[in-house]
Every structure is written in C-alpha cells, then in structure tokens.
Amino acid sequence: MEEKGSAVRIKIINPNTTWSMTEKIGACARAVAHAGTEIVAVSPATGPVSIESHYDEALAVPGLLQEIAAGEREGNIDGYVIACFGDPGLKAARELARGPVVGIAEAAMHLASMVGSRFSVVTTLGRTMGQAWHLAEIYGMERFCANVRACELPVLELEEPGSRARERIIGECRRALEEDGSDCIVLGCAGMTDLCAHIEQVLCVPVIDGVAAGTKLIESLVALKLRTSKRGELAKPLPKPIVGLLEGFTRSS
C-alpha cells in the first residue's frame, strides 16, 4: 500500500470482457492520472462482453470480484475503480477490499452535483435507464438528476468506428440541455470515456465522464489515506463453503 514517495497503483476493472473497451478505459484513466499513479486496467476472465441489462450485471459480478480478490492477494493495489455505469458489485467489492473502491456512476454523479445545479445522464439503451435512476436515488443524487436519457445505442457500437455513436450522443445531450433544465451532462457508459472532451467542447457545458471522475476520486481518497471501513457492513465477508458453479470463490474471497 501507499507510502510517502512510492507510486500509487489503481486497478480499474472494466466488468465487461471486451478488451478494446478496457484498453480505451485504461488510456483515458492514464490521461487524467497523476504522473506518480500507475493505472492497471483489466477485464474479468469470465462474464458478458457488454453490460446492458440486470442479467448482464449479475453475470459480470463474479468475474469482477475475482479481480478484486486477486488485487488483495497481490497486496499492491491502493484503490479500485469499477468502470461500468451500473456500478455492479460495488458493495461486495468494498467488502473484499482494504483500500477504497469507487463506481463510475457514483463518482460522476457526485462531481456533476458540484459543478452544476442539475445534470442529465445520457446513456446507451433505454432499458438501462432504470438502473441509473436507482443509483441516483441510493446515492442521494435524485435532487440533482434532472433526467436520464438513452441514445438506444448498444454498448458495443461504441467500439465501432463507423457507428456515428458520437453524433447520436451529442444529439441526445443537446435535447437534454434544451428540455430537461439541466446545466451539465453525465455520460452513462464507460465506453463513452474517449468522447468526453469533444462532447464538452461542442456543448460548452461541463460533461462528466465517470472513468476520469472515478480515477481522480480514488487518487484523492488514496492521497488522504482513506480506506474502506472494516467496522460493520463492509467488513470482510464471513468465510463459508460456496458450492456448485462458484465453488472457487470460497478461496478467492
């Protein structure tokens, strides 16, 4: 763990298994990270290629937790970012980790509430809007969240150069600013991270990307030597047998 003068290591977990997206997330995190921060960007060994339903989220969590458990075993990770806008497995990850864990929706919504009066979330498929509203509610961000909107863009289209994803997102952002009474935008998918600077330049309002927000928040928590509380709810899970499909998790956690 961090000592004065030593490098900070942040593990960014893209809970989907699309490596091109993981590389993009890693590059965007490195671009905003402090020079002394090492970014380790990973995808789980198991799980869906994209996360755009409750079912996908549930199936992404075991692989995500394996990555947290591996980081804890290696003992050289100062903090973790969960780089999917549904913040899957966030509380379970906090139970496993000694250092801080931040989800990108959590990070982006909190930062948006500090630079504007109300934000609109612009996300991928309409079916993910319910989860974004749910997170706004449980994070106490509902009063800052003017609306959640979708471009009806499947996550993996963000990886396709000819998909016109950027134009579609910008169009939805413009409608958000005109119709929602919002004054800043939260991007609702980790796969949008590389588009943030351009969208902000076009819209001339703050546009918050959760990958950058999560990276800087984790850096701040690590710099302040704040770790996950192990008193009560976020203590290590009790050891117990786990049978069947997830048998290996008895050891990994």
Rounded to the nearest angstrom, the gap between the alpha carbon of residue 101 and the centroid of all alpha carbons in its chain is: 10
Kindly tell me which of 72 and 106 has the beta carbon lying closer to ligand 2AL: 106
- Answer left, alpha or beta for residue 140, where phi above 0 means left and psi between -120 and 50 means alpha: left
* Nearer to ligand 2AL among residue 8 and residue 141 (C-beta): 141
Contact footprint for ligand 2AL (CB under 6 A): 16, 50-52, 84-86, 123-124, 128, 155, 188-191
Which runs of E-coded beta strand occur in 93-176?
101-103, 119-123, 145-150
Query: Residues near 156 by Cβ (< 8 Å), separated by ≥ 6?
Result: 18, 49, 50
DSSP bridge partners of 187: 122
Write down the least CB distance from residue 79 to ligand 2AL, Å: 19
Closest contact distance (angstroms) between CB of 117 and ligand 2AL is 24
Indicate the residue among 113 and 124 with the shorter CB distance to ligand 2AL: 124
Q: Which is nearer to ligand 2AL, 133 or 227 (CB)?
A: 133
| Smallest distance from ligand 2AL to CB 141, Å | 16
Question: Which residue's entry shows tokens 């699309």?
Answer: 18
- Shortest reach from residue 187's CB to ligand 2AL, in Å: 9
